[in-house]
Amino acid sequence: APLEQPYYSVIAGTYRSMENAERKLAQLQAEGFDAAFTEVNPEGLHRVAYGRFVNKRQALNLHNYIRFALKEEAWYLAEN
């Protein structure tokens, strides 16, 4: 198996400040999302995901739900 497992994430926000990122993470978790941090991006920013999946379809389903049902901003990210 490859060491680098790709993850498919639905991003809620990108933050320079870890404090702000942790606040967003806690908010999403309080709303019932299985929220998580992704890998720190190349610019050193902290990305907070509504959810991170090894299954692409699950990530796309969540992305669509957030954008269309909840009318929230979200973007899809393939991490590998």
In this prediction the pTM is 0.88
Q: pLDDT tens digits for 34-76?
A: 999 998 888 999 999 999 999 999 999 999 999 999 999 999 9
**Given a cut of 90, is residue 79 above it in pLDDT?**
no
Residue 45's alpha-carbon distances to 39, 62, 63, 65, 79, in angstroms, are 9, 23, 21, 25, 14
DSSP 22-57: HHHHHHHHHTT---EE-PPPTTSPEEEEEEEES-HH
